[in-house]
Chains A and B, each alone.
Chain A
């Protein structure tokens, strides 16, 4: 449904609703931390940012130029590859999945003996994989700095140019 709409406002609303739905999905998979993030970022802040981007650029999608066959082919190929990839994934909740048997038991016992906090997710994110999280925070910082560099100065350039022409 989302891909057939040309007006971008309903598209933003629908993707926000989709985000909220996937947050509910994460909750039902017991991934509450991810659900938190998805609900706050995907359904909340991203929707607001999309809306402000729309109000800056315009809400109607331009009709596509050129042939649609090549993008369709690429996307079909990509989808086929991804579907092929999922065939090898371990079943959901499989206790013998590689992700569960390699380092996870160490983390689970270590969280109790070495770190002493009940939330294993926090102990992995902040302590065992502190370097990762440092990098992630850096990514967020860099993204913010990039937006600041591009958009900080008051009004868009087009408007300034128009003003110059009127004088």
Chain B
């Protein structure tokens, strides 16, 4: 891959906008199209592009599998935690209305946190799956093989 200069440069240029777009989709999901799932996948795809172009070792340096798996659990845990926060504040499971004194503000908080949890879980799961597959590549593929 070292000699694919155009590919390297194009990837370098594209990865930051992809990450930025993923964050936009994540945090603007309440107002425009998008949400946690889409944002998570886009976020992961930037990392996967990085891994494809620069190699798995580089990707592991940026996003180690141990951290990625923890993020997987943390994302889902955040969602469940928000659910129980509703119970703890005297409402029902996943009852966001009580997260704040104003029910509508509570809904905003709840949806924001839940979407964040989904985004974290999805992005890290996609990254973990990709890393697992890529780790089994026993050798570097040459260009003519494709």
Q: Which residues of A come within 8 Å of B, CB atoms? A: 9, 32-33, 36-37, 40-41, 44-45, 48-49, 52-53, 55-56, 114-119, 121-123, 125-127, 130-131, 133-134, 136-138, 140-141, 143-145, 147-148, 150-152, 154-156, 159
Q: A56-B136, A144-B72 are in contact. Are A126 and B114 (CB under 8 A)?
A: yes
CB <8 Å contact, A55 and B41: no
Q: A143-B125, A147-B132 are in contact. Are A114 and B107 (CB under 8 A)?
A: yes
- Report the separation of the CA atoms of residues A143 and B134 in the bound assembly, to the nearest whole angstrom: 17
Q: How large is the interface on B (under 10, 10 to 19, 20 to 34, 35 or more residues)?
A: 35 or more
CB <8 Å contact, B110 and A151: no
- In whole Å, how far is A113's beta carbon from the nearest beta carbon of chain B? 9
Q: A119-B29, A148-B128 are in contact. Are A130 and B104 (CB under 8 A)?
A: no
CB <8 Å contact, B48 and A134: no
8 chain-A/chain-B pairs, Cβ below 8 angstroms: A32-B33, A119-B31, A122-B111, A130-B83, A134-B79, A137-B79, A137-B117, A144-B128
Residue of A whose beta carbon sits closest to that of B146: A9
- Report the separation of the CA atoms of residues A136 and B122 in the bound assembly, to the nearest whole angstrom: 10
Q: Which residues of B come within 8 Å of A, CB atoms? A: 25, 29-38, 41-42, 44-45, 48, 52, 65, 69, 72-73, 75-76, 79-80, 83, 93-94, 96-97, 103-104, 107-108, 110-111, 114-115, 117-118, 121-122, 124-126, 128-130, 132-138, 141, 146
